Amino acid sequence: MDTILILTILIVTAALAFDFINGFHDTANAIATSVSTKALKPRHAIILAAGMNFVGAMTFTGVAKTITKDIVDPFTLENGTTVILAALLAAIVWNLITWYYGIPSSSSHALIGSIAGAAIAAAGISALNYGGFIKIIQALIFSPILAFVIGFIVYSIFKVVFKNSNLAKTNRNFRYIQIATAALQSFTHGTNDAQKAMGIITMALIVNNYQTSDDIQTWVQFSCALAMGLGTSIGGWKIIKTVGGKIMKIRPVNGVAADLTGAAVIFGATAIHLPVSTTHVISSSILGVGSAHRLKGVKWGTAQRMLITWVITLPISASLAAIFYYILNLFF
């Protein structure tokens, strides 16, 4: 078995591991509001999320193609195999660190930062595809802002529409609606997040001359969808606790507004083939809803801690990837 094949197998394995970790790290965000309001029992929520993530991941491939070619050019990437493996290892390490401490950081930021950091370590800043990379960064920055604004607007509309309704009855009805919105949000999560691993596997296949186009092969799509679904089935209780309770006290009507907002923004990004951070989008939608509900009710300390983690994820993951690249370069 030649070295290129061994390294390709390692990359595929690491990418699926990243997708699995992403499943229990990020998917918790998609069901956090429904669990915290008791609309769904934790086990039922996780089963629902796992299934809907799998379906979502099998539905689209546009984001995967963006990851494959818009950060760096896989057809000209110098020492591409080592770059990709280093990027995956860095993203996995950062995801595990933030999961351990219950911090809802972004797997998307971690992966994109890692690819950029490893590529720069290999070939300098010119290795980046500036146009594509800036477009992705813009999507990562503006999507949570958009989610905050839409969440604020959606809940403001809810307050006007249901201002004369019986609170207990309204919340009971919205608890049922939350089952559907949790499913929708899990589906949209799958349409965007699972594709990132598909993109990096395809990048490796191109770099190692196993394919000559950016088309996503069926086995790649299925294996990534399965890894995401299995990861989701493990659950991410620490992240659920942070997103579902430490940002604000969530009631069913808040949860529905936040779920609808998150799903709309994530699916909108998927439709235009842009990767976004589901963590950022969902957390920001909750912040927007919370601000519309009662500004003082939002636990801004938790929001600040999350924001700091979001800001530092790109440079830290890029630095980790560069370190991994230099270490791997000693052996390959």
Rounded Cα–Cα distance for residues 22 and 234 (Å): 11
Cβ contacts of 27 within 8 Å, gap of 6 or more: 49, 50, 53, 186, 189, 193, 228, 231, 232, 236
Whole-angstrom CA distances from 118 to 64, 69, 122 are: 19, 15, 6
Whole-angstrom CA distances from 183 to 158, 176, 227, 270, 272 are: 21, 12, 18, 17, 22
Cβ contacts of 103 within 8 Å, gap of 6 or more: 242, 305, 306, 309
Rounded Cα–Cα distance for residues 182 and 175 (Å): 11
Cβ contacts of 160 within 8 Å, gap of 6 or more: none
Q: How many other CB atoms are found less than 10 A from the CB of residue 72?
A: 28
Handedness of CA 192, 107, 18, 179 (dihedral sign): negative
Q: How many other CB atoms are found less than 10 A from the CB of residue 247?
A: 26
- What backbone torsions phi and psi does residue 234 show, to the nearest 5 degrees? -75, -35
Residue span of the structural domain in which 67 resides: 3-329
Q: 1 is written with which tokens?
A: 């078995």
Which residue is it, tokens 């927007």? 288
| pLDDT at res. 245 | 47
Q: 134 is written with which tokens?
A: 């800036």
Amino acid at 73: D
| pLDDT at res. 195 | 92
Query: What is the count of structural domains for the chain?
Result: 1
- Convert the chain into a string of H (helix), E (strand) and C (coil): CCHHHHHHHHHHHHHHHHHHHHHHHHHHHHHHHHHHCCCCCHHHHHHHHHHHHHHHHCCCCHHHHHHHHCCECCCCCCCHHHHHHHHHHHHHHHHHHHHHCCCCCCHHHHHHHHHHHHHHHHHCHHHECHHHHHHHHHHHHHHHHHHHHHHHHHHHHHHHHCCCCCHHHHHHHHHHHHHHHHHHHHHHHHHHHHHHHHHHHHHHHHHCCCCCCCCCCHHHHHHHHHHHHHHHHHCCHHHHHHHHHHCCCCCHHHHHHHHHHHHHHHHHHHHCCCCCCHHHHHHHHHHHHHHHHCHHHCCHHHHHHHHHHHHHHHHHHHHHHHHHHHHHHCCC
Query: Along the 332 residues of the chain, how does pLDDT read in single tens digits?
Result: 588 899 899 999 999 999 998 887 666 677 777 777 778 887 788 888 889 989 999 999 999 999 999 999 999 888 899 999 999 999 999 988 887 776 767 888 899 999 999 999 999 999 999 899 999 999 998 999 999 999 999 999 999 998 888 877 888 888 889 999 989 988 998 999 889 999 999 999 999 999 999 999 999 999 999 998 888 877 655 555 554 445 446 788 888 999 999 999 999 999 999 999 888 898 889 889 989 987 776 777 767 777 787 789 999 999 999 999 999 998 87
Which residue is it, tokens 């991410």? 236
